[in-house]
Amino acid sequence: MSQENQKTCPTCMGNKIIPGVCESSQEWTGSTNEDDMQCTPDEKCPTCDGAGFVVED
């Protein structure tokens, strides 16, 4: 049997996703509305493809 060396993904730290980020868009639009936030959704980690770990040779 082959032995796989799995280690926690360094990109997502085993979380399997990259958390979304919210930023105020005031500086872009000049809006003064505090609720005017731009958020990116959580994304599947591209490094481990959502596995939470990577396999080293």
DSSP H or E run through 29: helix 26-29
Look at residues 7, 16, 4, 15 and name the one whose alpha carbon lies nearest to residue 49.
Answer: 16
Among 8, 11, 33, 38, binds Zn ion (CB under 5 A): 11
Name the minimum Å distance from CB 12 to Zn ion: 3
* 47 belongs to the binding site for Zn ion (CB under 5 A): yes
Among 36, 39, 45, 56, binds Zn ion (CB under 5 A): 45
**Helix residue spans in 1-57 (DSSP H):** 26-29
- Residues at the contact surface with Zn ion, assessed by CB under 5 A: 9, 11-12, 45, 47-48
